[in-house]
Structure 1
Amino acid sequence: MELLTKTLFLCLALALANGGPLQVLFSPCSDASLPDRCEGIEFDAITPDEKGNTFFFKGSHLWKGFHGAAQLANESFKELDDLHHIGHVDAAFRMHNVENPDDHDHIYFFLDDKVFSYYNHSLEDGYPKEIQEDFPGVPSHLDAAVECPKGECMTDSVLFFKGHDVHVYDITTRTVKTKTWTHLPVCTAALRWLEHYYCFHGHNFTRFHPVSGEVSGPYPKDARAYFMHCPNAGHGGHYEVPKCSEAKLSAITSGDAGKSYLFAGPIYMRLDTRQDGLHAFPIIRAWKEVTNGVDAAFAYNDNMYLIKDDHIYIYKTAVHYTLIDGYPKTLKEELGIEGHVDAAFVCPNQHTVYVIQGRTMSDVDLSATPRVVNDRPVPLPMSDIDATMCNAEGIYLFKGSQYYHYETPMILGMSRMAPQSLPVTNAILGCQD
C-alpha cells in the first residue's frame, strides 16, 4: 500500500500543478503509469495459481494471463505490500505436492529473506516466514523459482535460481542439491508450462531441461511473440484450437499416471493440463526420433509406445521421454503385428494392447515374453478408425469428428452393429464446440 499511496500523491501533485483541482478529475496519470509488457519487460516472477491463471510480475504490477493490461499487484495479493513494503517479488512458484493437500497448488512468493504462501489469493496463517523455516538450505534474495513434479524431475522438487546456481529442493526430504548452469542465462523468472520449462531473461526466454539444464533449439526467443498478445509480434507459440466439427486425430492415449495426449499430424497436445491452456507442440519436441507423425499411441507400465508405419518406438516416461535402447523396432519383432496400424489402446491397469487394422481388432499380452499377437482377430462393425482411447469411462473410437463409445473391449469385440456415433465435444478433446 505504501507504493500505491506514493503514486497517488504524485499523480495528485502533477494534476494540481498542471491545471488545478478540476484537472484532477481528468488526470491520465494512473493509466500512463501502467507498464506495457509489449514494450519489452524483464519480469521479476511468473507463476500460475491453483486455477491455472498465469501471473506475470514486474515491480508493483502484474498481468493476469497472456493478454490484458497491467494491474497493481496488491489488488490480488495485498499482503505482499502491506506487510513487507518492497517494490517487487523476487521469485514465485505453484507448489506441486499431491501427497500433501495442505501444500498442493498453493502459491509461494519470495521477497528478500521472506516467503509468503497463498491459496485462493488468501495469505495462509503464520505467513510470512523466513525462507529457511519453510525451505531449509535455500538462499534468500532469489532470482527465480519453478516447481518440477516427479516424472519430470527425479522427485517432486522446486528449482530455485540465484545467478548461475540452481538449488534443487527435494520436497519430501527437505534437502537441497546445488548445480551450476553457466550455459543458461541468469533467469529473472521461470515458468513450468505444459510440461516445458522456461527461463525468462530480459524480454526473452530460453527453454531448458529441468534435470540437466540442457538447451535445445534456437534460443533465446522473444517472449512477446509467445507468451503475450502484442501488436506486430508474430505469435509462433499460439495454436488455434480447431472446431469440434473439424476434429481429425492421428492418435490419442491416456496413461495410468493420468497424462493424456492428442496427436494430429505433426503436432501433439497435452489434454489433462488444459487448466493451463491448450497448446500444440511439434511431436519431435518431446519424442525427437519420431519425425513424421504417428499412426497410433498407447501407454503401458510407465512407458509410451508410438507406432509409425511398420516401426514402434518405446519411451521411458520417468524423466521426460527417453527412447529405450534398441528402439525403434519393427512391429513384427515387438508385437507380432504386420501391416498398417490404424489405432491401438490399453485400458487402465490392464496388460493387453488392442490393435485395430481396418475392420479387425487383434490383441497382444504385453506381460508375456515373447509377445505374440492373437492369431484370431475379431471383426469390427466399422472401419477407418483414426484413433482410440480407453479410460475409466470406457473405450472411445474416433472417426473424424465423430466417435463411438463402448464400455469394455469384450463388448466391442462382440458387437456386430455399430452404435450411433456421437459428435466430438469440448469435454473430450478440448476443441471449440
Structure 2
Amino acid sequence: MLDSIRALVYICLTWPSSATIPDRCDGIEFDAITPDEQGKQLFFKDGFLWKGFRGPAQRVAESFSGIGHVDAAFRMHREDRTEDHDHVYLFQDEMVFRYFNQTLQDGFPKKVEQEFPGVPCHLDAAVECPKGECSADSVLFFKGSEVHHYDVATQTVKKKEWPEVPPCTSVLRWMEHYYCFQGNNFTRFHPVTGLVVGAYPKDARAYFMTCPNFGHGSGDHKLPLCSEVKLDAITSDDAGKTYFFTGPSYMRLDTSRDGKHAFPVTRMWPEVAGGVDAVFSYQDKMYFIKGDQVFIYLSGAHYSLIEGYPKTLQEELGVQGPVDAAFACPGDHTAHIIQGDQMKDVDLSATPRTVTKATTLRHAKVDSALCGPDGLKLFVGSSYYEYTATSELGAGQVERMPSPITPSMMACRRD
C-alpha cells in the first residue's frame, strides 16, 4: 500500500502540464520505443506516450501504472517460455517494470541487476533480438558508447563498442531491421556486427510517423485503389514470410503486427534494381528472375546473394526469357515457369535443369503466382484465381471465377 501511495505521489509531482504536451513532428528526441504485445509501436517522451505511427500523445500512466518517465523499453522475445514471451519491459533509473497487456506483473518493479544480471542501470535504450537475427534470443542494452549483448537463456552479457552506431537515446526493431534514434534522426545498423550500410542519419519524421511535408509521413500520401493493384511477383519462403513485388517496391504480407509497408526492393536485395519479373522460393533460397538473368539469395533474417550469381535463365533453369510468373510448391522439386499461356515445368533436383513438361493454360496472361499449403493462386491484374493443384491449370479444365484483391490481403483501399 505504501509503495502504491509513493508511486502516486511521484506521478503527481512529475506529471507534465497540458501546456507541455509534445508534438513529435517538432523533431523531438524519444526516450524509448518498443512494440507492445500486439505489435503496435509505442513511443515515449517525458511522461507521454504515442501509440502507433500517427495520433496524439497520451500520458504514460494512462496505460502503464506505477511509472512516470521511461529511459528504455523492449518487448521480450522468448517463445519457449510463455511466462516471459511478449512481455513489455520499461526501465526507469535503477528499476525495471514488467507489463503484460499493460498490467504490471507481480514482483515488479525490480532492480535492473536482479532481473538482468550484469546489465547496467540508467540505460539509454534497449531492443529485443530474436534467434535467427542474433545467434540466440537476446536483448541489446545501450548505455553511452557501449552495447551490452544479453543472452536471455544463459543470462550472460558481452560488452561491445560499435563505432559506426551513434549513442542511441532509443532503439527500434521493426520489420527485422534495427534503428538507433538520436535526436529526431535515426541510423539503421546490423544487430550482430553494428555495421551501418547506406546513407545515414535520416529524419525519423519522414519514415516513422505521419507528419505533414515529410516524405513517407506526408499527409498527402494515399494507398492505391485495390482495383489498381498489379503484382509483378509473389512468394513465400520456408520461414513463412510472404513477399509481393510491384515495380521497384516490395511488401511483407505476413506482418500484421507491424503493419503493411512498402519498401524499395534494393533495401533487402541490393543487387536487384528496377523491379523483377518473377520470384519463387525453393529449399531456403529465393530465385529472382529479371530479364534473362536469375539471382539466387540464401533465405534468412538478412538475405545474401549466392556467389557466382546472377546467371542466365538458360544456364540456371534451361529456359529462354521473358518470364511472366514463376512458383514452386512446398516440398516439391519443380519450378513452374509461366510465359504467356504456357507453363513449363523444370526439375530443380536435376543437373542440368531442363523443361520436363509444358502445359497450355486457360489464362492468356498471368502476372504472378503463389503456391502454399492452402493451394495455388494465380494473379491477373487486380484479381486472383484459386486452384487446389497445378493439374487444374490446363486449358481444358473447369473455369474458375476470379476474386478481387482486398485491403485485408495487402495495402490498398477499396474503390
Is the TM-score greater than 0.5?
yes
Match in the other structure for 2:145: 164
Match of 1:235 in 2: 216
Larger CA deviation: 114-123 vs 179-188: 114-123
Aligned to 1:47: 34
SS of the equivalent of 1:384 reads: coil
Tell me what 1:257 maps to: 239
For residues 266 and 242 of structure 1, what CA distance do their matches in structure 2 show? 15
Offset, 1:369: 4.2
Matched, 1:423 2:404: yes
Equivalent position of 1:267 in the other structure: 249
CA distance in 2, matches of 1:329, 1:430: 33
User: In 2, are the aligned partners of 1:154 and 1:318 still within 8 Å (CA)?
Assistant: no
Give yes or no for contact 1:151–1:320 (8 Å, CA) kept in 2.
no
Q: Label 1:171 to 1:390 Cα distance change in 2 as closer, same or farther (>3 A).
A: farther
- Give the structure 2 partner of residue 357 of structure 1: 339
Distance apart, 1:200 and its partner CA: 0.5
- The offset of 1:287, in angstroms, is 0.4
Equivalent position SS for 1:235: helix
User: Structure 1's 206 and 98: CA in aligned 2 closer, same or farther, altered over 3 A?
Assistant: same
Q: Evaluate the alpha carbon distance shift between residue 189 and residue 251 of structure 1 in structure 2; reply closer, same or farther with a 3 A threshold.
A: same
Would you say the 8 A contact 2:234–2:242 is kept in 1? yes
Asked whether the 8 Å contact 2:72–2:125 carries over to 1, the reply is yes
SS in 2 for 1:427: coil
Q: Identity rate of aligned residues, in percent?
A: 57
Structure-1-length-normalised TM-score = 0.87
Could you tell me which residue of structure 2 aligns to residue 5 of structure 1?
A: 12
2:55 — aligned with what?
Answer: 68
CA distance in 2, matches of 1:351, 1:97: 34
State the partner residue of 1:203.
Answer: 184
| Residues 140-194 of structure 1: CA deviation (Å, up to 9, x unaligned) | 2211111222333333322211122222223333333322112211001001112
Answer yes or no: is the 8 Å Cα contact 2:392–2:398 preserved in 1.
Answer: no
Amino acid in the other structure paired with 1:387: S
| Cα shift at 1:94 | 1.5
Alignment of 1:7-406 (within 5 A): 30-81=17-68, 88-235=69-216, 240-366=222-348, 368-406=349-387
Distance change >3 Å, CA 107–CA 250, structure 1 → 2? same
Give distance in 2, aligned partners of 1:137 and 1:331: 53
Within 1, Cα distance between the matches of 2:215 and 2:273? Answer: 25
Equivalent-residue separation in structure 2 for 1:264 and 1:431 (angstroms):
13
Structure 2 unaligned runs (5+)? 1-7
Q: For the residues of structure 1 that align with 2:355 and 2:325, how far apart are their CA atoms?
A: 16
| Per-residue deviation, residues 50-84 of structure 1 (Å, max 9, x unmatched) | 21221111121111122222211011001224xxx
1:274 counterpart SS class: coil
Shift of the alpha carbon at 1:379? 1.4
* More deviation, 231-240/148-157: 231-240
How far the C-alpha of 1:257 sits from its partner, in A, is: 0.8
Instruction: Name the TM-score, length of structure 2 as normaliser.
Output: 0.91
Bigger Cα displacement from structure 2, 45-54 vs 414-423 = 414-423
Task: Specify the code of the residue in structure 1 equivalent to 2:18.
Answer: D
Q: CA RMSD of the aligned region, Å?
A: 2.2
Retained in 1: the 8 A contact 2:324–2:367? yes
Deviation, 1:252, is 0.8
1:295 CA displacement: 0.8
Aligned equivalents of 1:168, 1:351: Cα separation in 2? 40
Q: Contact 2:260–2:410 (CA<8 Å) still a contact in 1?
A: no
Deviation string, structure 1 residues 258-314 (Cα, Å, up to 9, x no partner): 111111000011111132122111111110000121111122222222111111111
- Note the alpha carbon deviations across 1:69-122, whole angstroms, 9 max, x for none: 2211011001224xxxxxx21211122223333322221112223322211111
- For structure 1, the 5+ residue unaligned runs are 9-28, 82-87
**Measured at CA, do residues 175 and 339 of structure 1 come closer, stay the same or move farther in structure 2, by a change above 3 Å?**
same
- Give yes or no for contact 1:241–1:278 (8 Å, CA) kept in 2: no
Cα distance per residue 1:315-355 (max 9 Å; x no partner): 12234011111111112222222221111112233332222
User: In 1, Cα distance between the equivalents of 2:332 and 2:117?
Assistant: 42
**Aligned letter for 2:300?**
A
Determine the C-alpha separation between the residues in 1 that align with 2:248 and 2:127: 29
Deviation at 1:430, TM superposition (A): 3.8
Number of matched pairs: 406
**SS at the partner of 2:332?**
coil
Query: Quick one: distance in 2 between partners of 1:174 and 1:302?
Result: 31
Partner amino acid, structure 2, of 1:196 = H
- 2:199 & 2:38 partners in 1: Cα distance? 32
Change (3 A) 1:251 1:232: closer
**Following the alignment from structure 2 to structure 1, what is the Cα–Cα distance between the partners of residues 350 and 158?**
40
Q: 2:59, 2:325 → 1: CA distance?
A: 51
Cα shift readout 1:175-226 (whole Å, capped 9, x = no counterpart) = 3332211221100100111222111001111112222222222211222222
